[in-house]
Amino acid sequence: MRITDVRLRAVKNENELKLKAYADVTFEECFVIHGLKIIDGQKGMFVAMPSRKMPDGEYKDIAHPITPELRKGITEAVIAKYNELLVDGEIPAEVAALGE
């Protein structure tokens, strides 16, 4: 599936140090997944799929790629868009730097 659009919303809450932004990804101009998270983890930036908290306290993805290739493509597209907006100043550097 071809990604045709990526939209981001920066997180400006200082309590969310690792969460940098939320992403919406559109495929083939006909299917969108809302609520992906860009997280600055111990091994660098990664994209977490939308999830729901279960009664036992565990989080379960409600939408996710089946193949490693699609997961890699989504991650690369979302992180590239984040970096592009950071360079363009559309995501304030102080928001991006929280938690660093």
How many independent structural domains does the chain possess? Answer: 1
Return the CATH number at 62. Answer: 3.30.1120.40
Range of the structural domain that residue 57 is part of: 3-97
CB 48 within 8 A of CB 65: no
**Range name among 2-11, 30-39, 82-91 with the lowest pLDDT average:** 82-91
DSSP-derived 3-state class of residue 100: coil
pLDDT tens digit sequence for 46-83: 999 999 999 999 999 999 999 999 999 999 999 999 99
Beta 44-48 vs 3-10: how paired, if at all? unpaired
Per residue in 39-49, is it b (16+ CB within 10 Å) or e — as a string?
Answer: bbeeeeeebbb
The answer to whether 91 and 8 have CB atoms below 8 angstroms apart is yes
pLDDT at 16: 66
Q: pLDDT confidence of 17, banded at 50, 70, 90?
A: confident
Record the pTM.
Answer: 0.81
Average pLDDT over the chain, rounded to an integer: 86
